[in-house]
Amino acid sequence: MNRAASQPEAKSESAKDVRRVSVLGSTGSIGKSTVDLLAGHRDRFTVEALTGHRNVQLLAEQAKALGAKLAVIGDAALYEELKSALSGTGIEAAAGTDAVIEAASRPADWLMAAIVGTAGLRPTLAAIAQGTAVALANKESIVAAGPLMLAAVEAAGATLLPVDSEHNAVFQVFDPAQRGGVARIILTASGGPFLRKSRAALATITPAEAVRHPNWSMGAKISVDSATMMNKSLEIIEASYLFNLPDEKVDAVIHPQSVVHSMVEYIDGSVLAQMGAADMRTPIAHTLGWPERIATTGQRLDLSGMLSMQFEPVDTARFPAVALARQAVRAGLGYPAVLNAANEVAVEAFLRGQLSFDKIEILAEQALQRVDIGRISTLDDIIALDAATRTIAENSLRTLQ
């Protein structure tokens, strides 16, 4: 694996020094789990910056609890509220999109990129440009910018540490010295809340049903993505980029219990898996401690009960999103950004009650057919393509309602 960080090197004394960290999206599901780990290891980390978007009160609480130097709220209209919540603490307050990017650019040893959606793209790249070790939860940014992000990592001498439980699992069992012996990566998928529902029954799914994931507690967008299996689709693209493998070598398998978080199969038939509780604090702790290990503050896998594990193929007729991922990644740079942006528009519309659940992938597929990709060679090209896709997808919405 040459894209994400290579596996742990010999333990160095400096690795035990207190490390300076920042968290983008600290008020979200991944952000809160990260803050929980940082609170459990106060002696090992100092906090430079935390960012949220609208949840001022939680952001201020987190900044005070962790003694952060800077707290940034993305929504500029909330600046006064943040300033007043932090008054007398000595914690700097800032607001707006540029302030989030500035926070990401501050020197840090480790940064959690946990903003949801392509809104995380510029801040994540700003951290990469500083040569920071970036724990990447914000999958939409690598899906959209893939090779450009990896080139930026290379140029800055930064490190990418995968946080997505599947990619973190692969990272833990992928031996870069045996890259030539890797037959395939197998990403596990819980199948989400509608695994056994017929395609016809998906038409009437409500947002409340879609965000109720059976195994994981997550933000609304990724919960809907899990329910459509678009999440697995984005993850196939993410894995193909991160581990530098063609998508034919990235498979997905349904594993409803979410105990095995993913596997690497080698050509000799060996299959190495990483297991753990369905608690994001394990992969986050892995990246936070890397290249060492630190204790999780979350749940541990309980092997004392009757642990049963099932695996079954993904039914792509019921969940067509997986095929869209392969189509997009094979078509080349730009197409995954279109798939991702159209999906973001579709999920937001579904959550607002303006699009039925079974039309989410249809909107994404239409965008792949309709958007003119043009020539993509820079981050600005990706951002322009993301915006153009959103306009086309918003227009398609009207015909699909």
Ligand X SMILES: NC(=O)c1ccc[n+]([C@@H]2O[C@H](COP(=O)([O-])OP(=O)(O)OC[C@H]3O[C@@H](n4cnc5c(N)ncnc54)[C@H](OP(=O)(O)O)[C@@H]3O)[C@@H](O)[C@H]2O)c1
Report the distance separating Cα 258 and Cα 279, nearest Å.
10
Taking the least distance from each CB to ligand X, the nearer of 159 and 223 is: 223
Binding mask 65-84 for ligand X (x = CB under 6 A): ---------x----------
Taking the least distance from each CB to ligand X, the nearer of 119 and 371 is: 119
Binding mask 265-304 for ligand X (x = CB under 6 A): ---------------x------------------------
- Closest approach, Cβ 139 to ligand X, in A, equals 5
Site for ligand X in 1-60 (CB under 6 A): 25, 27-31, 52-55
By CB under 6 A, residue 388 contacts ligand X: no
Amino acid type, 263: M
Candidates 81, 214, 215, 216; binder of ligand X (CB under 6 A) is: 216
Site for ligand X in 312-341 (CB under 6 A): none
By CB under 6 A, residue 138 contacts ligand X: yes
How many CA atoms lie less than 13 Å away from 302 in the CB half-sphere? 5
Contact 69, 49 (CB under 8 A): yes
Nearest alpha carbon to residue 108 among 132, 128, 125, 126? 132
By CB under 6 A, residue 116 contacts ligand X: yes
Binding mask 217-246 for ligand X (x = CB under 6 A): -xxxxx------------------------
Q: Please give the C-alpha separations between residue 230 and each of 9, 114, 147, 225, 227, in angstroms, as whole numbers.
A: 35, 18, 21, 5, 8
The three-state secondary structure class of 6 is coil
Report the distance separating Cα 164 and Cα 115, nearest Å.
13
The first and second tokens of residue 46, run together, are 């100092």
Q: Which residue is nearest to ligand X (CB)?
A: 28
* 103 phi, psi to nearest 5 deg: -60, -40
The first and second tokens of residue 31, run together, are 């952000």
Applying CB under 6 A, the residues found at the interface with ligand X are 25, 27-31, 52-55, 74, 100, 114-116, 119, 137-140, 164, 216, 218-222, 280
